Structure formats: C-alpha cells, structure tokens
Amino acid sequence: MPRVDAALRAAGHELVVLPDGIEEKTLVDNLKDADLLLMCYTPVPARIIDAAPRLKGIVKYGVGIDAIDIPAARARGIPVVNVPAYAEETVAEGAFALMLGLARRFKAIQHEMDASGWAWPTARWLGQDLSGATLGLVGAGRIGRSMARMAAAFRMRVLGFDPQLPADFPGERRENLVSMLGECDFVSIHCVLNAQTRHLVGAAEIAAMKPSAFLINVSRGEIVDEAALLVALHAERIAGAALDVYGREPLARNGHPLSALYAMDNVILWPHLTFYTREAMQRLEEDTLARCLEILEGKPVLVKSADPRLRAQTQGVRFAD
C-alpha cells in the first residue's frame, strides 16, 4: 500500500511495516506503542488486542473480518472497520467472467490450443449459452445483486437464496437452498462467512445440483465443504466449478487438500484475485486512508459495512446510511 503509507507519513505518523503471517510474539512487541493496527490477513485474536494498551482502532485493508476478534475489541472500546464497497462490481464481474469461462469451456480449449495448436468442433468442446439458463445466487448482498443484474442483462433466469433478501433483488426469491440448487444451471456464492454459513453448501446441497450444473465461489472457501466438492467433481456429479477462494490459502499444486483440482479441465482455479483491478485498488486505498486518518485524529470512524458484527459497535464509530 505505498500510497497509503506515504500519505500517513506525510501526515506526520510513524509507520512500522510488518509482513502478513508474522509471528504473534513479534506482532505483540510491535503493538505495545501503536495507536492503529492496519491489517489484511494476519489473525488478530484477543491476546494481541489486550497486549496493545494504546490501540485506538483496527482497520481491515479489505472486506473480510473473520481474522479479528471483534468481541475482544468491543470490550476494550476499540473500533474495528473494514472497506466493504471498493470492489462490489469488480468481484461480480470476476464471478461472471468465471461463469462464462465454464460455459464456454475456456480452460479445456486453451489447453488443447496450447498442446495441438487448434481444436475442431467436436462434442468434447461443446459449450452452452448463458441466455435462457438459470443462475442461483447463494447470498444477495451488494456483490450478489450486482451479479444478478449482469445475469439479467444476459437474459438469464436469476434465483436468490438469502435470509435477508432485499426487496430490490432483480430475480426470484427462494426460501429453501436445496430445492433452489436443483433448479440451477449455475450456482454462484456471494454470502459472508460466519458460523451460520460455514459449509452452507455441503454434500447434501452439492448432491441436489444437476449433473450438468456448475458451481462458482468468489466469496470464502469455507462456505463450501471443499472435501465434498472434490468428491463430487471426481465422480462427475456436477459439471464443473470455478473457484477464486479456498479454505486454505494459498492453493498449491502439491500437498494441498485441493491439489487434485489442477488436473481437472472442468475446474477453473483463480488465485483470489477477482477483486484486483486498477480501479478497485484506487478505491480501496482511498477508503483505507480515510478510515486510518479518522482513527488517528480521534474522530468517529465511518462503518460502511452492513455486517452485524460491525454494526453492533457502540464506541468510536458512526454508520453510513
């Protein structure tokens, strides 16, 4: 985050830059005099928060807040804030691109082009239209609704499963996840990870999908029972999958529970980069800097997220409408 770092230094603040994955003891030592913790993936459990007596706030450089012990921060009156809105359309575009790649067999055909130089129109390469197909969305927050609007523009039928499905959802509501999955040609996951959504799409849900259906996950790996997904792909119980997120990251060709996916031409693997565009990074940096400066200047920090874990905060915060 060179721009954020430079702006904070220009405002007179001293920065200690530490790598993600740093040892807990080193992080504790560096937080003893810290006023602000700006983090991305490094876990921030209660013992780290309690070891930082001067801490005024925690800013997550991105969306996911699962690594932060928010109750521990609340107990200390330390506000926690993320940057939720910088890549809503961006991630939806990424999910849509992955869906197109599955529909048109991009990975398999690219492999054939690399190996043979050409691919003649045989059944092996036969794709399918998105127009007229049914897309089921598991989660209909900002990103899910953006995905729904894009799908509607392609004349897809859109279904949505979400306990808090908004009134402006541009598709059909479904109250039962398993029954919705049986209707879908494509299933795209867009819910947050919490205790209720961990393994929300498990063996029973995957078994309810059509053998011709595809699964897309750009949200969090652990929303899907990845072991059950791997079994289903091996057994050809579903047509394929496109994944940008994994329960254990980074993914690896060897020694990872999902290493076998690399060899599957009906599986597109993306390295958690659907958010990563020039425009989204600029928005992320601008919002992150604004939240950091609010905390350092002693102002209430703006919480833009609708996540109830952040909305339950009562000290040092203000909420976007």
Three-state DSSP class for residue 275: coil
Res. 294: pLDDT tops 80: yes
**Contact indicator for 288, 61 with CB cutoff of 8 Å:** yes
**Contact indicator for 174, 161 with CB cutoff of 8 Å:** yes
* 272 counts as catalytic: yes
Residues 161-182, buried b or exposed e (16+ Cβ, 10 A)? bbeebeeebbbeebeebeebbe
Q: How far is CA 55 from CA 16, 78, 145, 176, 289, in A?
A: 14, 7, 36, 44, 17
Whole-number Å distance between alpha carbons of 159 and 184: 8
Shared domain check, 169 and 80: no
> What is the tens place of the pLDDT at every residue in 64-81?
898 999 999 999 999 999
Which of left, alpha, beta for 316 (phi over 0: left; psi -120 to 50: alpha)? left
**Contact indicator for 288, 6 with CB cutoff of 8 Å:** no
pLDDT, position 314: 96
Shared domain check, 308 and 233: no
Whole-number Å distance between alpha carbons of 242 and 102: 7
Whole-number Å distance between alpha carbons of 245 and 243: 6
pLDDT, position 268: 98
| Domain of residue 295, residue span | 2-86+277-319
Whole-number Å distance between alpha carbons of 140 and 162: 6
* 220 counts as catalytic: yes
> What is the tens place of the pLDDT at every residue in 214-256?
999 999 999 999 999 999 999 999 999 999 999 999 999 999 9
pLDDT, position 211: 98
Shared domain check, 30 and 105: no
Shared domain check, 117 and 80: no
- Answer with the one of 237, 252, 269 that is the final residue of a domain: 269
* 311 counts as catalytic: no
Shared domain check, 118 and 58: no
Shared domain check, 56 and 71: yes
Shared domain check, 214 and 71: no
Per-residue pLDDT band at 306 (split at 50, 70, 90): confident
Q: What's the domain count of the chain?
A: 2
| 80-81 β-sheet, strand order | 36-39, 57-60, 80-81
Active-site pick, 272, 283, 286, 309: 272
Shared domain check, 195 and 109: yes
Shared domain check, 11 and 153: no
Whole-number Å distance between alpha carbons of 168 and 149: 11
> What is the tens place of the pLDDT at every residue in 104-129?
999 999 999 999 999 999 999 999 99
Shared domain check, 258 and 115: yes
CA atoms within 13 A on the CB side of 72: 17
pLDDT, position 64: 87
Would you state the structure tokens that stand for residue 276, as one six-digit string? 């990563």
- Indicate the residue type of 281: M
**Contact indicator for 238, 214 with CB cutoff of 8 Å:** yes
Active-site pick, 142, 174, 220, 291: 220
pLDDT, position 1: 75
Shared domain check, 188 and 251: yes
> What is the tens place of the pLDDT at every residue in 164-187?
898 889 999 999 999 999 999 999
Whole-number Å distance between alpha carbons of 253 and 302: 41
DSSP E strands, 146-281: 157-161, 172-173, 186-189, 214-217, 240-243, 267-269
Active-site pick, 3, 9, 249, 279: 249
> What is the tens place of the pLDDT at every residue in 12-55?
999 999 988 889 999 999 999 999 999 998 999 999 999 999 99
Shared domain check, 238 and 182: yes
CA 29 from chain center: how many Å? Answer: 31
CATH number at residue 137: 3.40.50.720
